[in-house]
Amino acid sequence: MNKKRLLALCLGTAVAFSAISGCGGTEDGTQTPSNETDPKEEDNHSSGNTEQSNGEGTGSISGEVRYAFWDTLQQPWLEECIKEFNKIYPDVTIILEPNVWDEYWTKLEAAATGGTIADVFWMNGPNIAKYANGDILLPIEDRIAAAGIDLEDYPKGTVDQFDINGHQYAIPKDFGTINVWYNKTLFDEAGIAYPTDDWTWEDMVSMAEKLTKPDGSVYGIAAPYDGQSGFYNTVFACGGEIISKDKKTSGYDKAETQAGIQCWIDLQEAGLSPSQASLEETTADAQFLSGKVAMAWIGSWLLPTILESDLKDQVDCVEVPSINGQKGNTAHGLGNCISKETENPDAAWAWVAFLAGEKANIMSAEMGAAIPALKGTAQKWVDAYPQYHLQSYVTAAEEYSYEYPASVNTAEWNQYEADHLKKVFALETDLKTAADHLATQMNEVLANE
Partner 1 sequence: MIAPVTIGLGIFYFYPVLKVILDSFYHVGAFNKRSWCGLENYQKMLKDPVMWQSLGNTCKYVLLIVPAMILIALVLASLLNSGIKGKSFFRVIYFIPAVTMGAAVAMVWSWMYNGNYGIINAILNLFGIPSQQFLSNPDLALPAISVVSIWSTAGYNMIILLAGIQGISRTYYEAAAIDGASRFRQFFHVTLPLVTPSLFFVLITSLISTFQMFDTIYMMISKSGLAMEATQSMVVYFYRNAFEYSKKGYASALAVFLFVIIMIMTVIQMKGQSKWVNYE
Partner 2 sequence: MKRKQKIFNIVIYVVLIGGILVTVLPFVWMILTSFKTQNEATVIPPAIFPKIWQISNYGKVFEMLPFGKMYFNTIISAGVTVSGQVLLCSLAAYAFARIHFPGKNIIFTCLLAVLMVPSSFFILPQYQLIQKMGLLDTIPALFIPNLFSAFGTFLLRQFFMALPGELEDAARLDGCNHFQIYSRIMMPLVRSGLVALGILTLRFAWNDLMWPLIVNTSPKKMTLSAGLAFMQGQHITNYPVMMAGAVMAVLPLLILFTIFQKQFIEGVAMSGIKG
What residue ranges bind partner 2 (CB under 8 A)?
Answer: 8-9, 11-12, 15, 66, 71-73, 97-103, 107, 110-111, 113-116, 283, 285-286, 290, 305, 310
Which residue lies nearer to partner 2 by CB, 116 or 440? 116
Which residue lies nearer to partner 2 by CB, 228 or 401? 228
Minimum distance, C-beta of residue 293 to partner 1, in the bound complex (Å): 11
Minimum distance, C-beta of residue 319 to partner 1, in the bound complex (Å): 29
Which residue lies nearer to partner 2 by CB, 32 or 283? 283
Stretch that binds partner 1, among 170-178, 193-201, 370-378, 422-430 (CB under 8 A): 422-430
Minimum distance, C-beta of residue 299 to partner 2, in the bound complex (Å): 11
Does 44 participate in binding partner 1 (rule CB under 8 A)?
Answer: no
Does 277 participate in binding partner 1 (rule CB under 8 A)?
Answer: yes
Does 280 participate in binding partner 1 (rule CB under 8 A)?
Answer: yes
Which residue lies nearer to partner 2 by CB, 18 or 53? 18
**Cβ(171)–Cβ(144) under 8 Å?**
yes
Phi then psi dihedrals of residue 223, to 5 deg: -125, 70
Minimum distance, C-beta of residue 280 to partner 2, in the bound complex (Å): 13
Give the interface size with partner 1 as a residue count (CB under 8 A).
30
From the list partner 2, partner 1, none, pick the one residue 324 interacts with, judged by a Cβ distance below 5 to 8 Å according to partner type: none
Cα distance between residue 213 and residue 359, in whole Å: 47
Phi then psi dihedrals of residue 316, to 5 deg: -155, 175
From the list partner 2, partner 1, none, pick the one residue 44 interacts with, judged by a Cβ distance below 5 to 8 Å according to partner type: none
Stretch that binds partner 1, among 24-32, 177-185, 246-254, 272-280 (CB under 8 A): 272-280
Q: Scanning residues 54 to 113, which ones bind partner 1 (CB under 8 A)?
A: 102, 106, 109-110, 112-113
Which residue lies nearer to partner 2 by CB, 9 or 427? 9
Residue 27's contacts (CB-CB under 8 Å, 6 or more residues apart) are 21
What does the H/E/C string look like for the chain? CHHHHHHHHHHHHHHHHHHHHHHCHHHHHHHHHHHCHHHHHHHHHHHCCCCCCCCHHHHCCCEEEEEEECCHHHHHHHHHHHHHHHHHCCCEEEEEEECCHHHHHHHHHHHHHHCCCCCEEEECHHHHHHHHHCCCECCCHHHHHHCCCCHHHCCHHHHHHCEECCEECEEEEEEECEEEEEEHHHHHHHCCCCCCCCCEHHHHHHHHHHHCCCCCCCEEECCCCCHHHHHHHHHHHCCCCCECCCCCCECCCCHHHHHHHHHHHHHHHCCCCCCHHHHHHCCHHHHHHCCCEEEEEEEHHHHHHHHHCCCCCCEEEECCCEECCECCEEEEEEEEEEECCCCCHHHHHHHHHHHHCHHHHHHHHHCCCCEECCCCHHHHHHHHCCCCCCHHHHHHHHHCEEECCCCCCHHHHHHHHHHHHHHHHCCCCCHHHHHHHHHHHHHHHHHCC
Minimum distance, C-beta of residue 1 to partner 1, in the bound complex (Å): 5
From the list partner 1, partner 2, none, pick the one residue 278 interacts with, judged by a Cβ distance below 5 to 8 Å according to partner type: partner 1
Which residue lies nearer to partner 1 by CB, 167 or 375? 167
Q: Scanning residues 391 to 410, which ones bind partner 1 (CB under 8 A)?
A: none
Cα distance between residue 352 and residue 172, in whole Å: 10
Which residue lies nearer to partner 2 by CB, 273 or 309? 309
Q: Scanning residues 131 to 150, which ones bind partner 1 (CB under 8 A)?
A: 134-136
Does 327 participate in binding partner 1 (rule CB under 8 A)?
Answer: no
Does 12 participate in binding partner 1 (rule CB under 8 A)?
Answer: no
Stretch that binds partner 1, among 69-77, 147-155, 201-209, 416-424 (CB under 8 A): 416-424
Minimum distance, C-beta of residue 147 to partner 2, in the bound complex (Å): 29
Which residue lies nearer to partner 1 by CB, 75 or 414? 414
Cα distance between residue 180 and residue 169, in whole Å: 33
Tell me which residues touch partner 1 (CB under 8 A). 1, 4-5, 102, 106, 109-110, 112-113, 130, 134-136, 275-278, 280-282, 287, 292, 411-412, 415, 418-419, 422-423, 426
